[in-house]
Structure 1
């Protein structure tokens, strides 16, 4: 019995060799960064022109530094109010989870603001803004980075889609 080629393999077979090699390298880069479904991220970047690698890198840093940073030794203890709560008998794990959930909510709101979802629709004179991908030297590529809120939960490095934040 032979296995039918996957959608990924079929799509790869339709591309010229140089594009195929670039796509495989991009998929491998996503996999090396720990992305779930690296083929999907790579295929979307190539076929849809979405700067998925930039999106993934932003989301992963938000998780590592903004949300999961509270799990680092000493992070909670550096906050005077948290230190007082711990000294008063609060459970350290509960306090960490509270901080992580609060950070998630703040990041979700900030992403919405950065993507322009909170602009005043009644005042067309106000400027807008957007996030843009840059090349390694910091020059804009012209590709807008959007929809971060769509993948924030799904890029949880634990693979739990942020479910543990509200446990």
Structure 2
């Protein structure tokens, strides 16, 4: 596929994901070989499912502790904000650990990991997705970079 065709395809895919100005992402992927689409899809999915998933009806109420707090008069919005903040911290810590590629606190163990893009068939492309934790806040669909999590 030509660079132009690849850029057009990426532009359309980013547009379908709600990115209003994907030019820098497309340029980075086409010119530098950075897997920006895979990175965006992964981070957006984590934000939507793990963090914003707590805003859905009944999601908080599935937890017995939350049920007790609500019954005791706790504000549902505060509990949702708490659940989302804890979820954000858990996702961030997980991404940070994945980005590290190994556990620096374990000596004598020769094991590590890498997050890698895959193709349509699930086969690794060889392009890694580094520093995922650095961009997690940019996936906040509200555009506030997670500021509401700490109100």
Give the C-alpha shift of residue 150 in structure 1.
1.5
**Is the Cα–Cα contact under 8 Å of residues 31 and 38 in structure 1 kept in the other structure?**
yes
For residue 118 of structure 1, report the CA deviation from its aligned partner. 5.8
The whole-number CA distance in structure 1 between the counterparts of 2:134 and 2:100 is 14
CA RMSD of aligned residues (A): 1.7
Aligned-pair distance for 1:28? 2.1
Q: How many Å separate the matches in 1 of 2:106 and 2:139?
A: 34
Tell me the residue number matched to 1:137: 121
TM (normalized to structure 2)? Answer: 0.92
Check whether the contact 1:35–1:155 (CA below 8 A) recurs between aligned residues. no
- Aligned partner of 2:138 among 149, 154, 161: 154
The structure number with the bigger radius of gyration is 1
Aligned pairs, number: 151
- When normalised by structure 1's length, the TM-score is 0.84
Gaps of 5+ in 1: 1-16
SS in 2 for 1:37: coil
Work out the CA distance in 1 between the residues paired with 2:30 and 2:37.
Answer: 11
Structure-2 residue corresponding to 1:30: 14
| SS of residue paired to 1:129 | coil
Decide which of 50, 57, 61 is 2:41's aligned counterpart: 57
